[in-house]
Structure 1
Amino acid sequence: MAKFSSELSEQCICQALHQKVSILVTHQLQYLRAANQILILKDGKMVGKGTYSEFLRSGIDFASLLKKEEEVEQPSIPGTPNLKSARSRTFSESSVWSQDSSVHSQKDGAAEQPPAENALAVVPEESRSEGKINFRVYRKYFTAGANYFVIFILIVFNILAQVAYVLQDWWLSYWANHQEKLNVTTNGNNGANETEHLDLNFYLGIYAGLTVATILFGIIRSLLVFQVLVNSGQTLHNKMFQSILKAPVLFFDRNPIGRILNRFSKDIGHLDDLLPLTFLDFVQTLLQIFGVVAVAVAVIPWILIPLIPLFILFIFLRRYFLDTSRDIKRLESTTRSPVFSHLSSSLQGLWTIRALKAEERFQKLFDAHQDLHSEAWFLFLTTSRWFAVRLDAICAIFVIVVAFGSLLLAKTLNAGQVGLALSYAITLMGTFQWGVRQSAEVENLMISVERVMEYTELEKEAPWETNKQPPPEWPSQGMIAFENVNFTYSLDGPLVLRHLSVLIKPKEKVGIVGRTGAGKSSLIAALFRLAEPEGKIWIDKYLTSELGLHDLRKKISIIPQEPVLFTGTMRKNLDPFNEYSDEELWNALEEVQLKEAVEDLPNKMETQLAESGSNFSVGQRQLVCLARAVLKKNRILIIDEATANVDPRTDEFIQKTIREKFAHCTVLTIAHRLNTIIDSDRIMLQASLAFLYQVPLVRLPWNASGFDSVVLRSDKRCRQVDQKIRGW
């Protein structure tokens, strides 16, 4: 969009902002004529300062560069964004927004939002389950950490630990009752108050044995519970991670990064931290209730009278509470995702936020997201307190009933039974309400398990590897054939390619041009199978749909428009799988003129790069991507406007390197500027989901989908170049 760039410079910067201080950072030198001062930077230092006319008169290399740019202004294919500007679209997001250009800031990577109506359709609200937690979730959670035999052993040790604990209390009661009977018998026979001593060693030995068994079984139970549940959390995390890795690209475009981070942070945190402790506490409390009730009923059968209505009331109250609490917990988990998303996007776009002085607006937006989440969290806390207060009130009533019942039945009960009844009543008062609360908390925490399991069952890409594997030297020629290919990014989405049939010959250099949304990047997406296309795509007589994704993608090199460097060393960025020797790596760096820059690093190729390679310029990062392609030596190379964001010299060098190093390769170039595709053997002009022309540039019709306007909008020198190419 040369016209758009000119209008932006003239009407916005020179007219609307003429009373403002404007700083233009650019490598489009033709716009510098309007600048009052020009600063030339090299290697982080200012090497020149002056006005436009002063540089023209100085006769230095920069002046000749200015003259060259003044004479030849690179035109753009009509309808495409001016990728020389400070923004550029990335491949992955433009592939989804085939009808709208999706652009990224070079500095902060913040993507412009597509139109609202499209955003509503493409970025749906986060899914939220309703109703009870399915039993399948419990079963999968426990079996993820252990097999059924280990789970059976775990249940046995839980029961043994509780039995040993209950037998301690029962043995003390038995000991006291037996001693009381001996006292009564002695008084009745002799008339004197004499106490017949029991075998103290026997009773103490039994009690000590039960105590040791309780401790031993309790330790084994706790270790087993934590081992099983921690393994479950780790297994589910790994499954979710593998599922995310195998998810199609569309999943990441439909789900903001905060939504994914929410599952990996808070939900996994619940699985690792709160759930094991809460579950162990619930199991201990539940078994303690069963044990206490069993002993109490065995010793004092009438205690069942208040216990049965108490149990029914607790079950009803728990069900009533969970119907509300469960959905509130799901709502709290869902409202947490926008907080993560907003924080992530704010950090990525921090430069833009500060430049536009939008800190206060973004802070208010963050506060709004945080307030919404806090409201859900506070509502969850208040419902929990409501539940706890009512449980405590019911338990207090239960103790009062037992106490007055003991008074009414004082003649039929001995002292040990009354003491045991009151002791168990007080114990049940705490354990009953705590057990019900913990059971509700376990079910609420299982929502995190449910959310994690949703991500373990995501739709997956095609298999990474299949039984049909091509030979190691494939593709040996680089022939690509599209046969009646239809392509869409989702089953319910529109077609972005329709009935595409193209034959690209071995070693052919093809330029792909067209208006924004015509489907240029979609052709590359279909080739990489970012979504499964209809029809057939052949590479050297192998049907790509029958190959594993790894076998296919590793044989196609791509130089993206937005260069990507990963956190790690330079060596790992060039050779992540340790496939090449140091000599090959240095040779590749030398071929792209990066050897000196890497040698100047503290640890050379072992130097840790900053996040996203920010300690390298955009041009240097693009050269690293070029070095990767040089190392791979694949027969097919995809270039997605690789020189859009670099200066003219780096642009010229990259084009020269591609012509020399990939002369024997099939090269597909997505282009927005004429000079990028001048050397192509064939031009594919794309419009309305189909290719209108597939001919050499010299045979491209003058009025080919607005191609004539490109030349007419250019200056005199550019028209002369174009006419010379066409042989006029």
Structure 2
Amino acid sequence: MVRDGKIVERGTFEAVLANQGDLKQLIDDFGKKLSQDDIFDTEQLIRLDTTIVASENSGGCSFSKPRRESVLLMRRPTLTPSKNNNRQVLKIQKPPGKVTEHREQGSVNYDVYKTYLRANGVVSGGIALSAIVAQQIISLLTTLWLRNWSSSNQTPSENQDPHLGYFLGIYGLLGLLTSVAAFVDAITSFSICAVRCAKFFHDRMFGKILRAPMSFFDTTPAGTILNRFSRDVFIIDEILPRVFTGFLRTAAGTISIFAVVSWAVPPFLLVCVPLLFVYKSVQSYYLATSREIKRIDAITKSPIFAMFGETLAGVATIRAFAEQGRFVAENETKVDRNLEACFASISANRWLAVRLESIGHVMILTVASLVVTNLAASKPLDSGMVGVLMSYALSITQSLGWLVRVATDVETNIVSCERVIEYTKLKSEGPWETVEHHRPSSNWPEKGEIVYEGVECRYRDGLDLVLKGVDFKVQAQEKIGICGRTGAGKSTITLSLFRLIEKSAGRILIDGVDISQIGLNDLRSKISIIPQDSQCFEGIVRVNLDPEGSKTDEELWRVLEQSKLKGHIQSLVSPIDDMISLRYRKKKYH
């Protein structure tokens, strides 16, 4: 018998019961009444149309009126009488044990960019960058070639175009080279770099999640984890490669435009530098807001994912208690909170567009004025060059505006890499494999003797001890039962045996081997547990019985026979390879 993490009674069931101690009291109490921990008196529940939902920062909102604003609802509200009327008020409680999702502040650390670039691969990334630069150089040469072609036609000649084949051939060759560079860029950027980068981040995060301690799952909502593997991974897979390559292309194109205009009209530099400073100031001001909005958007999506999964799991209970309205309102609250970030993002984009257009028009006016002034100089520009400059001047607004946007998109979307990298740094459980000189024999455990010596355990650092100096010994082939009230430490003993939680003090021995000295793989592969709630995974029966595929058909059939399932499995169309669907897995196999 366990109480407050300590063994208070031990012996056979009849002997302990005869002592009239804690076990007898526990059985008597259980027979008299049910635990009231998670049960509400249904007579006290008020219909949602007469219920007021209140939170610490909300004045209250009645569901009987049209919904004007969303109100935060929590999973386990408490019923408190209202002083003003006979209706009930649902007070908001923070879910116990859950931690608030971490959000970085300020600009993204440069280490995140380094990790992302390294994940793309040095060679493939270098090839992609070279292809992008080559495209812009060839595009610039194509424009200048057209300028020379048009200038050559200014000289009168009996032959309207004596060098048509020459000019046309070079122009076609430049177009072909542009296509080749674009093809190389697309293949390396999306088929190689993007795939490699996505695999790099996903595999490392997935590996860390699989090796994370149970305390992580106890304190982290499922929706937060799901958000990392859905939205954040999608951005790394699909969006970030596109905006990153778009930024490189736009940057290369903008540099080429400024280089040509500055070379043809040097005074342009006097106006260009101040305008670029203004562009940078606007971009920095916008980026600080946009980056934080992106982080808020990512964080506010997690509760939506969490509630969706929880609602699906408990939809029968929700309908049984006629609580659909409350859950709909709670879902609308979470969606509205996420949409607040989306609306702010759209507004910030409109703010940026107005300012970029205004600055761009100033730059166009500057270039046009300088070109007109140059025509009055002693050595004016030829008509072909004037056409090139005006064409580039008109594209400056679009190029600079797009450069600011894609640069901002890169930093706002790189936040997903930042969030994934956060999970790649999670603390792991103990070593998976055993150090060679501590590895137990291949037939361990032979007898199955279990010894606890002064074991103390807590679920995570900073919490009180759950097991406090537990000492007992289970002989080989002996069957025991552990009794105790809720929270006494029954499950904790089992968790400590599998090292799902690590002991703070003491030793746990199985056949004389200290389990803290061996790897988790060697420990957990040698002992088994039957869960309280049976569960089947979607897939075939064979995979559910033998996930690693190490057993023969004869062994699988023997296990099914021992568990009284052989007859049912034989009645299936394709017995051991029958599919277990999500819809019927509980109905058929539970």
TM class by shorter-chain length?
A: 0.7 to 0.9
Q: Which residue of 2 aligns with 1:435?
A: 403
Corresponding position: 1:368 with 2:342 = no
Q: 1:591 aligns with which of 529, 541, 562?
A: 562
Q: Which residue of 1 aligns with 2:120?
A: 145
Q: Which residue of 2 aligns with 1:651?
A: none
Q: For residues 588 and 195 of structure 1, do their structure 2 counterparts lie closer, same or farther at Cα, with a shift above 3 Å needed?
A: closer
For residues 516 and 316 of structure 2, the distance between their equivalents in structure 1, rounded to whole angstroms, comes to: 43
AA aligned opposite 1:149: V
Q: For residues 121 and 352 of structure 1, do their structure 2 counterparts lie closer, same or farther at Cα, with a shift above 3 Å needed?
A: closer
Q: 1:518 aligns with which of 461, 471, 488?
A: 488
Give per-residue Cα distances to partners, 1:405-460, cap 9 Å, x unaligned.
33333212332332222111111111111111111011111111111111122111
Q: Which residue of 2 aligns with 1:329?
A: 294
Deviation of the 1:316 alpha carbon: 0.8
Deviation of the 1:199 alpha carbon: 3.2
Contact 2:143/2:388, CA 8 A, preserved across alignment: no
For residues 28 and 108 of structure 2, the distance between their equivalents in structure 1, rounded to whole angstroms, comes to: 52
Q: Which residue of 1 aligns with 2:61?
A: none
For residues 476 and 542 of structure 1, the distance between their equivalents in structure 2, rounded to whole angstroms, comes to: 11
Q: Which residue of 2 aligns with 1:239?
A: 204
Deviation of the 1:538 alpha carbon: 1.4
Q: 1:218 aligns with which of 182, 189, 193?
A: 182
SS in 2 for 1:489: coil
AA aligned opposite 1:138: Y
Map residues 566-581 of structure 1 onto 2, 5 A cutoff. 566-581=537-552
How large is the Cα RMSD of the aligned pairs? Answer: 2.9
| Larger Rg computed on CA atoms | 1
Q: For residues 112 and 267 of structure 1, do their structure 2 counterparts lie closer, same or farther at Cα, with a shift above 3 Å needed?
A: closer
Deviation of the 1:606 alpha carbon: 1.7
Corresponding position: 1:533 with 2:503 = yes
For residues 603 and 609 of structure 1, the distance between their equivalents in structure 2, rounded to whole angstroms, comes to: 11
TM-score, structure 2 normalization: 0.81
Q: Which residue of 2 aligns with 1:557?
A: 528
Contact 2:76/2:93, CA 8 A, preserved across alignment: no
Contact 2:541/2:577, CA 8 A, preserved across alignment: yes
Give per-residue Cα distances to partners, 1:53-99, cap 9 Å, x unaligned.
xxxxxxxxxxxxxxxxxxxxx989459978x999999xxxxxxxxxx
AA aligned opposite 2:175: T
For residues 159 and 485 of structure 2, the distance between their equivalents in structure 1, rounded to whole angstroms, comes to: 107
SS in 2 for 1:518: coil
SS in 2 for 1:160: helix
Contact 1:571/1:605, CA 8 A, preserved across alignment: yes
For residues 88 and 576 of structure 1, the distance between their equivalents in structure 2, rounded to whole angstroms, comes to: 38
Deviation of the 1:260 alpha carbon: 1.1
Contact 2:223/2:304, CA 8 A, preserved across alignment: yes
Corresponding position: 1:169 with 2:143 = yes
Deviation of the 1:527 alpha carbon: 0.8
For residues 389 and 525 of structure 2, the distance between their equivalents in structure 1, rounded to whole angstroms, comes to: 74
Corresponding position: 1:157 with 2:128 = no
For residues 204 and 467 of structure 1, the distance between their equivalents in structure 2, rounded to whole angstroms, comes to: 72
Moved more, 478-487 or 301-310: 301-310
For residues 114 and 500 of structure 1, the distance between their equivalents in structure 2, rounded to whole angstroms, comes to: 36
Contact 1:230/1:276, CA 8 A, preserved across alignment: no
Q: Which residue of 1 aligns with 2:425?
A: 457
Q: For residues 592 and 195 of structure 1, do their structure 2 counterparts lie closer, same or farther at Cα, with a shift above 3 Å needed?
A: closer
Deviation of the 1:379 alpha carbon: 0.6
Q: Which residue of 1 aligns with 2:172?
A: 208
SS in 2 for 1:510: coil
For residues 233 and 216 of structure 2, the distance between their equivalents in structure 1, rounded to whole angstroms, comes to: 20
Runs (5+) with no aligned partner, structure 2: 1-22, 39-73, 79-90
AA aligned opposite 2:513: Y
Q: Which residue of 2 aligns with 1:358?
A: 323
SS in 1 for 2:375: coil
- Percent identity, aligned pairs only? 34
AA aligned opposite 2:492: S
AA aligned opposite 1:478: G
SS in 2 for 1:557: coil
Q: Which residue of 2 aligns with 1:377?
A: 342
SS in 2 for 1:301: coil
For residues 538 and 117 of structure 1, the distance between their equivalents in structure 2, rounded to whole angstroms, comes to: 46
Q: Which residue of 1 aligns with 2:48?
A: none
Contact 1:142/1:229, CA 8 A, preserved across alignment: no
Q: 1:275 aligns with which of 240, 261, 264?
A: 240
Q: Which residue of 2 aligns with 1:476?
A: 446
For residues 370 and 426 of structure 2, the distance between their equivalents in structure 1, rounded to whole angstroms, comes to: 59
Q: 2:223 aligns with which of 235, 258, 263?
A: 258
TM-score, structure 1 normalization: 0.66
Deviation of the 1:179 alpha carbon: 4.4
Q: Which residue of 2 aligns with 1:639?
A: none
Give per-residue Cα distances to partners, 1:227-247, cap 9 Å, x unaligned.
202220122111111111111
Contact 2:76/2:95, CA 8 A, preserved across alignment: no
Contact 1:88/1:562, CA 8 A, preserved across alignment: no
Map residues 342-353 of structure 1 onto 2, 5 A cutoff. 342-353=307-318
For residues 146 and 490 of structure 2, the distance between their equivalents in structure 1, rounded to whole angstroms, comes to: 84
For residues 589 and 554 of structure 1, the distance between their equivalents in structure 2, rounded to whole angstroms, comes to: 20
SS in 1 for 2:483: strand
Q: 1:548 aligns with which of 519, 523, 536?
A: 519
Q: For residues 133 and 251 of structure 1, do their structure 2 counterparts lie closer, same or farther at Cα, with a shift above 3 Å needed?
A: same
For residues 457 and 397 of structure 1, the distance between their equivalents in structure 2, rounded to whole angstroms, comes to: 48
Corresponding position: 1:445 with 2:410 = no
Deviation of the 1:578 alpha carbon: 2.2
For residues 245 and 459 of structure 1, the distance between their equivalents in structure 2, rounded to whole angstroms, comes to: 11
Give per-residue Cα distances to partners, 1:310-336, cap 9 Å, x unaligned.
211111110010111100110011111
Deviation of the 1:198 alpha carbon: 5.0
